[in-house]
Structure 1
């Protein structure tokens, strides 16, 4: 085929088919004629001309020659005009659609005059499980400032932090959006937003917090409308009175009071920068949540103020050098009958719902608390401090009650008086749990396949330079782990830990609910690693439900101001301990209450639990459970001063609370002790190999155990602090320990076999290898106690000197 191209780009093709004069029209020519009949013919002609011109240039270029006869143009050369046409139509259509959408949204925008009458009240309602209103939150102070009452530097701090071009834009700052995109892409995460102060005001007053194109469009259009209807001064005034700044502070007046106990005009430059810095994410930059992050954010705001020439270099340096010291005050309108619980709920909300929803407010929070039980818990804590505190030298207490079947917190008390101290000792205090941690050691041992009658030699024992010591300073010879738990013998607990291994014990505790960091040291068995009361109580609840863990929680669901459910708890119990091992552990812990260190927790119904005491009695614990409820009690001092008490005081406090609560509950039995013959372990032991643990790790964190017949471990190599003491000081310390120790639990208060006589030190076996397991005797019958005891249950024979 030969092809000729004329100036207009038309193509004439003559084809020879073996007969002279016979020819056939080019298909492209026929298509061109058909197109000429349509209104778009001129456009097609021009496109075809451009195509043919390119083809002609290719054919005339060196080495190209003329097209071969029968050669067809590539497919993309024939279709790309259609693609261009489609794109053009799409662009035009999209423009028309966008214009109509903007017009439709613009017509439905609310009246911006509503900003002038907007009152931010009723920002949150917290309800008990039965629907009783526990707390209605609103602006913390109700103080509304005029523009002239707001310090100029505070305004400048917000402009530097949130909208540096506020006075230049008309509601939307395209340069700010571009900067935010570049910053976020460079950082690989969301580090900067592009919303102006006007857009934020529109969102606060008029819009929901849904993340959609429609909402963003409405926000942008509404911001422009606000800019047309209000002046810049009005916009700033209303924004600074409505912006959410965390801890129920809505507006700068609230924030000044909540964080610094000041009015806005009393704030320093450093404090102003900190408040302005919280606006993007109050739960992240609050000094009450993360002081380090708050200080870093303050410094960023100060640098931006310098960049905007709001302050001098000297002012910035002075403000940065100023320590960030908060002086929080209870919001004036945040009264709650049960403040420790409601404050805990407020702290949890940023973890459950988007912060934007908190900023808007109007939320209804439905919780798990039983208000009547909570009142009883608060009275119990106050009575314990008043009745036992002065004589035993402790000033604080905490109590947590959980339904272990679903993880719902029924009562939570974090201290004596919330007005004096908002520190929640149930959720925020990290303390050494003492002997209560032995439960996790023995749960791992039982789950690995061991019998509760497995015996260890209770004798002098040193491993990797570490020497655990029983509270009684004596030894009992061969002791089963069941008896060792009942009488809380330290040496056996450490040997059991070595046998089963650090990792299995730490995994077991973590799976059961301990979320704090646990260190792989020998003293782990005696409660050296710190935990909080909420997680410890929840972990014991795992045994109450035959090995099923349900995460503790206080919020059932959250409803926004539009009536939509934006959060609903979906806690599903998860099996973390095999049922047989859980039943064995419950049986062993029943022995602690029936015959051991927890005797003062008896209720006249099935109860299992464990006492615990940390070094020098700084922390006194009892955690116990029935089949329906698990409750934990802690007694001590915030400054960790030693007490003169014993964990039996915590057990009495537990009984004071639970003895009242169980009146609402039917008596339920724990599962029977399963058959022990032929059991197989559900986890693998990973024994510790002595000699591979460093001396520093072995000697980490000495702590006392509870008065149940044990004393905290003693190190064979003294620390630097101990080496610095004189011999006289050492003698005084040992004498004080002897006088303070509770001799009552040093003897065997019951068990499956009579206690063996104490082995002399020279006869002790230093290696942790267990003795042969004796044949299991018959389980002990439960101790029968009257339902309403007139007096306290008698302690074990040797425990009378508590």
Structure 2
């Protein structure tokens, strides 16, 4: 009962409340102390960490001058991309060039508070910490764009606490050193985005073949989603996963209200259009691009050349280069076809035909070469065949594309012309075909080689260069590396030395067998004409135009062997390549096509030896010029001619400041004289400046003159006769030069050239020029022992078919003719103006003497003033026995 009437105890008494308060205050103090201690510990830890990593922290100010790794690019003179070298593709961009929506896509995906934080994002760090505590996994989600820049430029990607600590401190330092725009620009240019693309500019090119401003919203979102997983989310390798990533980026943009719902819906339904786009090559010129690459690597080292973003602007004209490549290719095809068909690549089947899929698989295993592609013969009719290419397309080869294919027996013999398609092909054969621009035809990969190069006459700029038929087959550059016997291409240089001694174009040289041999080679060397025909005393002009061998040898004997070699060295030939015997007069030296075109260029530009060059300018990735060509210039005759007194000035002498050798004063005097101005050539600096402006400037370099302007003119006129011949055809006195085919195609009189053929037709040449371009073509086999051979005439052959022995006029000449015809098309024919000191006089064609007649037995001829004949021809004829070997018989005047 007592228990029933006892009062219950209160739940909380004042004593309890007091005790609870004391406990709470005590714990609160402890918590405050703990928080303060942890804060101090955190600060201490951060300070300690900072000083710990400080020695390893790089100077972030280097980012202000950072050089992004960009590839080496080679361009033509007119700015077309020829080639690109380097492992990383990068197109550096400026912040203001990036579309706003692309910036939004990147920030919404990678760092939405980028423009708000100071390099690190506390909210992101807390989120990453929670993930670490709850899952035990390290996350990089806390990294801001600034931290990613720090990691990308200065740190590795390993997931360690010390790397993360360095990353944070570097990000803080970067934010102080650079603006937000500068940081974001580095990020956009630096990020790896797959397929060797670094930076958004390169990604736009690689995946879409576009510049940044041309990208659509879905394409921008695709690129913005790549930095975190450039391989896994690659739209080429993994299009479905890439689409998922793209759409997530678009959802972030919608969430951040940077796009509308309508834009979002349209973008997420857009198809994946990405595909690989290689470097956008505008001009395929692999031999010149390889020369430029080699130059840059040799000068700057491989790593710097490939990564510093150099732009190399060559002297190549894209228009002329394409024409040179086409002319060489067509000429090689023509030679190859007239020598016959060498048969199929292989037999794919004989009885049971292969399935279409197996045929395609087999054909795809064989690479095309210069437009020549593999095909399988499916069916044969009377005079046509049906073939299948590697795309599974069926193509009909009509008779025009088959009838050329008479059987190849040797380089000198071909089989009889085919009458039916079955004479050539069989079903199941694997063959080559190509489209020649008019129709499909049976083809084959040529075995013969060729090269061509062209120069700008005034300064030696290489305007075209083709080092072979196919760079993919052979990277051997025959223009610069192949030394081949020169043949009759050497004769203009021999005759130029003779003219500078005492010969004229009217000089008679004995075109007769040489009975006095040259024994310097250890055997009796007796040169013969080709063909072995002799015409007696012949004028020098005609002898050069018709490439008469014995006349060239006699001219060299008149000059002297040592003097001849000295003159050839002046033309730029290596003395080590010049044999010291009389065979040099017929072209036994082995030289490169580049040396040949350089020497011929002397005749084009009036007597100056300019150095060929192919790099016009080199710029860095910011388009600052770091190299610029300063070529030797061929000054015009009116500026540099001093009546022959300065003809042999060297480059050093031309830059001398001495009064006696001041070229500027000399040019000024000549310029003033031509303008009939009263100028004091020693003191009038105004006149000097006027003259210099006509031939470069104060910093220009001047080419040495190696022959007189008059000699260059006379040889050029004689080389026109190589093409146009002479005489009067209606009167029976007309004659052809060796390159008469050029006159039929080009039909202009400002072209000149010279054929060249070596013994047994192992090398063939044609070198020539007009006042604006000098060019040489070579054709031969890389195997020096193999002859170019001959072909027999075909009754139903092509128009203007070539038959007989291969030679410079037939083998190399057509390529030159085709190129020059295309190169000069639409340009004005240049009128020839004889230089000062040249006169013309009417001569008797038989004797080379002056004449008062005006009929077909006479003609005007050019002479250097003072060298013209002084005697007149009489009615008497020359009765001397031209076959008597006597030194005095070699020259008839």
- TM-score band w.r.t. shorter chain: 0.3 to 0.5
Q: Which has the larger share of helix?
A: 1
Q: Could you tell me the TM-score, scaled by structure 2's length?
A: 0.42
Of structures 1 and 2, the one scoring higher in RCO (CA 8 A, sep 6+) is: 1
Q: Which has the larger share of strand?
A: 2
